[in-house]
Chain A
């Protein structure tokens, strides 16, 4: 087989970019992000004064990121993958390009679902698993792009000369005393609203799958009165254990929410702390970004995987087995 030896010129671009980043980081100090748990407001005044009777609705900086994620990444990805698969069905059944990649990923995920949830329920569980996993993965990886958490508007911080700034400014040490930076884009998984809503979706779909599989008998896991009259002592014990099940079921929401949020928030805190310790040496925050890539991948996997396993556990009844002893 005749293979032409390719000259690997592309990897030199990466090296040049790394060196350029190092030098630029020395000239212009890296932006030190303001560490806040809530997403920063881009405009101080609320857009809608009383949103659906709930309260003021602010334009926070995770909203543009959500818009970009959904309308510029997820929907085009779905559309191109669908078109590629449809085209392959008309020709030779071999998908190419985006369709090929998505087919490979989804087939891997489907096999994983089938091996832990069984063939019967894999079809019902798989869409939740794959959607959550791909969505969280895109959200976590998008956070690493340059420009996220570094380009934004400056809000006065209450210094003595907090005059209005106009035009473009490059962030520097003098500005950091009087102003805080509210970036235009902030990763959506660093917002409790996003992780909480995903956790709620996951929680309710787990209950729905449980009811679909076992009917109303699913709730006998929580209010266990099956053996109450046959064996009063152990029946009462079962009832108390069922009450504990309710607590551990509700704790799932909490742990889903804070697992993703805590890991991603720890990421930005880590980058901020290292950047502020090292000042102008910007190579180490870049290394930590690499670690963030790994953490984002793992957390997306864990979120989807836990949803899938909890669903698989909900489809299998648990009180039916006979006690052997």
Chain B
């Protein structure tokens, strides 16, 4: 077995960086859970809750995006 250890570690690092996306997944799940519960109890607020839910999802998704940025930086040798 031979190869470039730096090359290999770059892929490993990019994979490890994406672990952070798990937290964003939990956050998105929680916000959707809350919004769905609210919609089920009070269907009149559907539109209002939907837009706010999408906003919340976008905010928690941005955490995953930071992970993605770090993974890109490692994968494509930007830094």
Contacts and interface: CB of A to CB of B under 8 A. Distances in A.
Contact of B69 (A254, A298, A302, A305): A254
B65 A255 contact: yes
A309 B58 CA distance: 12
Contacts of A305: 51, 54-55, 58
B interface: dominant SS: helix
Interface residues of A, number: 16
A259 B62 contact: yes
Interface string B37-65: 00000000000100100110110011001
Most chain-A CB neighbours within 10 Å: which of B57, B69, B76?
Answer: B69
Interface of B: 48, 51, 54-55, 57-58, 61-62, 65-66, 68-69, 72, 76
Given A254-B69, A298-B54, 7 more contacts: A37-B72, A116-B51, A254-B66, A255-B62, A258-B69, A259-B58, A262-B68
A interface: dominant SS: helix
Contacts of B76: 37
A259 B61 CA distance: 8
A302 B68 contact: no
A37 B77 CA distance: 12
Interface of A: 37, 112, 115-116, 251, 254-255, 258-259, 262, 298, 301-302, 305-306, 309
B47 to A, nearest CB: 9
A306 B65 contact: no
A112 B48 CA distance: 9
Contacts of A255: 62, 65-66
B79 to A, nearest CB: 14
A301 B54 CA distance: 9
9 contacts: A37-B72, A254-B69, A255-B62, A258-B65, A259-B58, A259-B62, A298-B54, A302-B54, A305-B58
B69 to A, nearest CB: 5
Minimum-distance CB pairs A-B, first 6: A255-B62, A258-B65, A302-B58, A262-B68, A259-B65, A258-B69
